[in-house]
Amino acid sequence: MSGTHRVPGNKNAALPMLAAALLTEKPVVLSNLPLIQDVRTMLALIAGLGARVELDEGAGKVRIEARRLKTTVLDKGLCSRVRGSILFAGALLGRSGGTTLYAPGGDVIGRRRLDTHVEGLRSMGARVRASNKLIFEAKAGLKGAEILLDEASVTATENLLMAASRARGETVIYNAACEPHVQDLCRMLSQMGAEIGGIGTNRLTVKGAEKLEGGEFAVGSDTIDAGSFLVAALVTGGELVLEGVSPEDFRVLERPFKRFGVRWSLNGTRLHVPGKQRLKMMYDLGDAIPKVEDGPWPGFPSDLMSVLIVLATQTRGTALFFEKMFESRMYFVDHLIGMGARIVQCDPHRVVVTGPTQLHAARVTSPDIRAGMSLLIAALCAKGETTILNAESIDRGYAGVEEELRRLGAEMRRM
C-alpha cells in the first residue's frame, strides 16, 4: 500500500454544513465535498424540501438555494439512512419555525440518544413531540437561552448552533463539543451573519440574526479518512504521502500514534509516512501496559478506535483499548479474532490486544462504517482472500474506497 492519497472533505463537517444551507434564502456553495453515500442522502433530503440542489461531482462542489421550501416534513425513508437527518431540526426551527422528521438512521454502535438535542431546543422555546415521528415547533420563533448540555454531544451542539443563529437574543452553550468539524460550522455561521464567540472551546456564545446571508465555504479535511489510509500503509509496510491533511488535527493524533512506534513528517498540509516501519508498543512508566482511550476533542477520536485496534494486531507488544463513548463499537473484534488476532474482550467497552499476529483470510461482515474500514485494512495484511459482506456500509464514510485502494496497490474487487 504505497503512493499518494489526497484526503477528502470531512464527512462530519459536511453534514451539518449542508443542513445549515437551509438557514438562508440566499445561495450557499460548499466545496471540497466528500461524495459519500451519507452526503448524497442529505442532498436528497434537502431537494425533497423544495430547495434547488446543483451538484458538480467533478469539482466536489454543491450549490444549494433554499429560496422557497415547499414542505418542512422530511422523507421517512431517507431519514432512516443517515444519522445526520437530525441536524435538520435546528436548521428548520431557525428558518421556518418547525419541522417533522423521523427516527434518524446511521450506525448501530450503541445508544445514540436525542435527549440533549430536545432539551436544548426546548430551552430556546421549541415545542417537541415524539411518537413514531419527531415534531418540532416554535411558532413564535426561538429565543436565546443559557444551555448546559448533559453531554458534550457533537450533533446536539451543531443543532443548537444552527437554531441559535436565527434566534432572538444571545444563546450561551456550556459543555459544548469543540471538535474541528464543530469549529467549521461555527466559522460558516459567522460568515453568514451570526455572531459566535468561544470557537474551539466548550463555551459558545451565539447572537442570532434575523436573516443570514449565503456564501461559499470549504469543508475541512477528513482526519478519520487520513488516519484510516495511514494505518492501511503501516500494516502493509508501505510508504504513503497524505496530501491535504489538517496540521492541527495531526498534532493531536501524534502522541497516540507514537505509542505504536509510528513515525511521520509533516510539512504544511503534506504528511509523509516512511515505509517498513518497525512497530513496537511504548509501555508506560514501570513497564506498565499502555491504555488507549477515546474522548471528546482534543481526546482521541472514537471514529479511529477501530482502525487503531487493527494497527495493534501488527505491533509488537500489548495495549488496552477503552472505548467510552459507544457501547457496541467493540463488537467487531470477533471478526478480527476469527482472522487470528490475539484479542481479549473484557467487556463491551474494553479489549486487550497483543501483537504482532499474522492474520489469515476469512468471511466477515461489516457492522458499521469504521468497523468495515478496519476489516478491510485487516484483509489487506491477511494471508489469502478475505470476503467482506455488507461492504456498502463503508460507502457511507469513504468515497470510491476500492478504486483508491487499488490505485495504491491493493488487490480487491466489488461484487
Q: Which of 38, 56, 75, 107 is catalytic?
A: 107
Angle between helix 11-20 and 223-235 (nearest 10): 160
- C-alpha to C-alpha distance for 224 and 218, rounded to whole angstroms: 17
CB 233 within 8 A of CB 263: no
CA distances to 184, 206, 342 from 170, rounded to whole Å, are 20, 6, 53
- C-alpha to C-alpha distance for 391 and 397, rounded to whole angstroms: 11
C-beta atoms surrounding 242 within 10 Å: 24
Question: Does 56 qualify as catalytic in the annotation?
Answer: no
H or E segment to which residue 271 belongs: strand 270-273
Do the strands 146-148 and 265-267 form a parallel or antiparallel pair, or are they unpaired? unpaired
Sheet containing strand 170-174, edge to edge, reads 146-148, 170-174, 203-207, 195-197
H or E segment to which residue 46 belongs: helix 37-48
H or E segment to which residue 253 belongs: helix 247-258
Catalytic residues: 107
